[in-house]
Chain A
Amino acid sequence: MIKWIDVYKAFGEKKVLDGFTLDVREGEAVAIIGYSGSGKSVALKHVVGLLQPDRGTIEVDDKDVPTLPRRELYELRAHIGYVFQFAALFDSMTIGDNVAMGLRKRGELSEPDIAHRVTEALELVDLPDVQDQYPAELSGGMRKRVGIARAVALRPKYILYDEPTTGLDPVTSAVIDELMIRMRDKLGVTSVVITHDMRSAYRVASRIAMLYEGRVRQVGTVEEIQHTKDPIVRQFIEGRATLDGGDAASPGTSPATAAGGATARGGGRA
């Protein structure tokens, strides 16, 4: 189980997380939605200890992540696969070596077993013939699939996806969605998906949480979110420029700003 408990995080003067609280239960897939720059990726990075909260804490399997000693943090990370927004593949290594990296670090498998696991992981993402290629030779969608293969090869208990479909065409996005569903159903992996692609969130997630102004605005099943009365959440999921569905906000006003005026009316429902 992953728990963010009243997490606060600021970068300089800018508050990013402001009392963020959310639970992800075993076996479920939770999508965290929200505007660009609302702190979704920041929240995710706290789970693997890439960022430390200013206040509050994050628990994974009842372990308090921010206070874990380095060795225990590395042990915990071995159970968590992380799929980065732009895949974050190592440029200087072949795809095969990229996928094998985590397995080699663990040191539990022999080289033939690692090679077998790498082949298996790449087949799972429908990329069986790219082992000897370099990341620069692959398209954006293929790189994201390799990123998923790298996470899956470790057979993790949790997979954290950071905007897995951003910047991809609709067909490739659907392929990535299918992959995430396959990981969840076939491997029983607990997933957290950061996205602002609502179609992807509806397909992949069992629950959806909206992050707004540093905290959870609303969390619920796909159906609950689709039928929400919260104007901020409605505006976001329907992709409207203004709260009332009229013309776009005045020039220079971002959707978040336009929505911000209704915060008090909408109230928090975290």
Chain B
Amino acid sequence: MNVIEATGRWVRFRIEEAGRAGQFLEEAALAAGSLRAWLPNATQQMRRLGVDSLPIGLLIAVFTGIVLALLASYSFTGAVPLYFVGTLVEKTITLELAPVLTGLALAGRVGANIAAELGTMRVTEQVDALETLSYDPEAFLVVPRVVAGTIMFPLIVGVAMIVGLGAGWLASLGFLQLSSDEFLKGARLFFGAFDIEYGLVKAASFGFAVTLIGCYKGLRARGGAEGVGNAATQAVVYSAVMILVLDAFWAMTWLHGRT
């Protein structure tokens, strides 16, 4: 096979893949209209994908909060008043680290979980069985997970913001001899509701992307255990990349230019 042929095959595969992804998106969007088909499963998925993911989200928030407080103190080195530690912790946690770090952790947990589960269902013909029983796999399997992810990611990130801020506060009290009043003064200094709004919207977009990619990769799995493993790996990698792309997208389109 020469280089031109190989390139042609690669390009054709990518175009076909984009077409399949587009068709999948369209089918999922149409399936979202049949509320009765997906609503009963959505609450169950919210528990599985959301509530069960809370511990990992909180763990990350605690350590991020502590590290941020100490990092801020180290960076200021006496040149900046120490109460700005509160400012830095609040801004960084709400705008960036709570959504992105939690999103990346959930991309691993939720994305792999969905891809492995749906992939197993695909290779063991359970998805075909659903179809023969007149269930629409998009409405029954995809929409509940995407809805659950889009709703639960911001909730987990919201709690992670509070816990991260709390951890930063306690670390400031314990390690930096900063008083509560000083930390809160710093935290309030440049605080705006936008910070939270921005972080939560970002988290919702991450939840949407991670669950959608997990479903797509899972339902496209082929060929037994190896296929399921590949689907789970690809779901995690693509989800992580998509989180970073979306992060940059929101920064460029929404954050940039705001005063």
Q: Which residues of A contact B (CB under 8 A)?
A: 45, 48-50, 70, 74-75, 77-78, 80-82, 84-86, 88-91, 101-102, 105-106, 150, 154
Residue of A nearest to B128 (CB): A50
Does B79 interact with chain A (Cβ within 8 Å)?
Answer: no
**Minimum CB–CB distance for A13 against chain B, Å:** 12
Within 8 A of A (CB), among B107-150: 120-121, 124-126, 128-136
Tell me whether B124 and A88 are in contact (CB under 8 A).
Answer: yes
Residue of B nearest to A51 (CB): B128
The 5 A-B pairs of least Cβ separation, nearest first, read A88-B129, A88-B125, A82-B132, A102-B133, A74-B134
Tell me whether A88 and B128 are in contact (CB under 8 A).
Answer: yes
Within 8 A of A (CB), among B124-180: 124-126, 128-136
Tell me whether A105 and B135 are in contact (CB under 8 A).
Answer: yes
Chain B interface size, under 10 / 10 to 19 / 20 to 34 / 35 or more: 10 to 19
Tell me whether A77 and B128 are in contact (CB under 8 A).
Answer: no
Q: 1/0 per position for B1-42, CB-CB distance to A under 8 A?
A: 000000000000000000000000000000000000000000
CA distance A84 to B129 in the complex (A): 8
CA distance A88 to B128 in the complex (A): 8
Q: Chain A residues near B134: list those with CB within 8 A.
A: 74-75, 77-78, 102, 105-106
Tell me whether A90 and B132 are in contact (CB under 8 A).
Answer: no
CA distance A88 to B132 in the complex (A): 11
Tell me whether A101 and B131 are in contact (CB under 8 A).
Answer: no
**Minimum CB–CB distance for B195 against chain A, Å:** 40
Dominant secondary structure at the B interface: helix
Residue of A nearest to B133 (CB): A102
**Minimum CB–CB distance for B104 against chain A, Å:** 27
Tell me whether B124 and A82 are in contact (CB under 8 A).
Answer: no
CA distance A154 to B133 in the complex (A): 9
> Could you show 21 A-B contacts with beta carbons less than 8 Å apart?
A48-B131, A48-B132, A50-B128, A74-B134, A74-B136, A78-B134, A82-B129, A84-B129, A88-B125, A90-B121, A90-B126, A90-B129, A90-B130, A91-B120, A101-B133, A101-B135, A102-B134, A105-B134, A106-B134, A150-B133, A154-B133
Tell me whether A77 and B124 are in contact (CB under 8 A).
Answer: no
Q: Chain A residues near B130: list those with CB within 8 A.
A: 90, 101
**A86 in complex: contacting residue of B124, B133, B136, CB < 8 Å:** B124
**Minimum CB–CB distance for B55 against chain A, Å:** 22
CA distance A49 to B131 in the complex (A): 9
**Minimum CB–CB distance for A50 against chain B, Å:** 5
**A84 in complex: contacting residue of B121, B125, B135, CB < 8 Å:** B125
Q: Chain B residues near A45: list those with CB within 8 A.
A: 128
Q: Chain B residues near A50: list those with CB within 8 A.
A: 128, 131-132
**A105 in complex: contacting residue of B121, B124, B133, CB < 8 Å:** B133
Q: Chain B residues near A102: list those with CB within 8 A.
A: 133-134
Q: Chain B residues near A80: list those with CB within 8 A.
A: 132
